[in-house]
Amino acid sequence: MYNLKPSLQIMILYINIFYISHVSQVEAEGISCFKCLMTFTNPDDTDLLCSHFDGSAKFQVFCPTSTLCMKRTVQYKSKTSAVTTVQRDCAPQKYTSHTYNDADKQWYKKEEVITSAYDEGCFIGEHRGAPTGPPEYCFCSFHLCNSSPSQIGMFNKVYGAILAMLIMRLL
C-alpha cells in the first residue's frame, strides 16, 4: 500500500503501542490508579501520605472493583493562608447487596461494580458549610490517570498532532 521508511514505521509502531498500553480505556476488570493517604494509622504508611506524593511506583495500586480513578482536591483557607490537599485513589464503585436464597434459607452477599456511578471529568462537590469550601472531584478511565489531569490532556493533544502529521505525510 504505502512504502514508508523503516524508521517511520518503527516510530508509528512505538507511538501506538505506548498509547494503547498507557492511555487505553479500561474495561470492568479493574484499573491501575495512584493512591495516597490523607492521614495514616500505621507508622509504616508515612511514605504514602498525599503530602509526599511524587508519582512513583510506590503510590500505584490495582483497583479490581473500579473502572475509574479519582482525584479529590480540597482547599483549606484560613485568615492568613490557603493550603491545597489532593487525595488520589480508586473510585468507589463496588456495591454490596444481600440476597436471600429460599432454597438454602440463607443470606448471601452479592458484589457488583457499578460502572455508571460517576461520569468522567471534574465537578465541584456539594458545599456543606465548612470553611474549606466544596471539594473538586475528578474521575478518569485511563490507567494511572489521576496523577494530573493536565498530563493526560496534553498527551492526547500531542498524540493527536503527531498522528495528524503522519496521516498528512502519507497522503
Question: How much is the pLDDT for 75?
Answer: 86
Cβ proximity of 142 and 153 under 8 Å: no
* Secondary structure letter of residue 144 according to DSSP: T
Residue type, 34: F
**Residuewise pLDDT in 10s, the chain (171 residues):** 455 566 555 555 545 444 444 444 444 579 999 999 888 777 777 888 998 999 999 999 999 999 999 999 988 877 888 888 899 999 999 999 999 999 999 999 998 999 999 999 999 988 887 777 789 999 999 999 999 744 444 445 555 666 666 666 665
Which sequence spans correspond to the domains of the chain? Answer: 6-170
Contacts 24+ apart (CB under 8 A), 144-148: 144/22, 144/32, 144/33, 144/34, 144/60, 144/69, 145/23, 145/33, 145/69, 146/33, 146/34, 146/69, 146/70, 146/71, 146/88, 146/89, 147/34, 147/55, 147/88
Cβ proximity of 85 and 38 under 8 Å: yes
Question: How much is the pLDDT for 152?
Answer: 42
Kind and range of the H or E run holding 21: helix 6-23
Question: How much is the pLDDT for 73?
Answer: 92
* Secondary structure letter of residue 6 according to DSSP: H
Question: How much is the pLDDT for 22?
Answer: 41
Question: How much is the pLDDT for 82?
Answer: 83
Kind and range of the H or E run holding 19: helix 6-23
Cβ proximity of 105 and 69 under 8 Å: no
Burial of residue 142, with CB atoms counted within 10 A of its CB: 0-12 exposed, 13-18 middle, 19 or more buried: buried
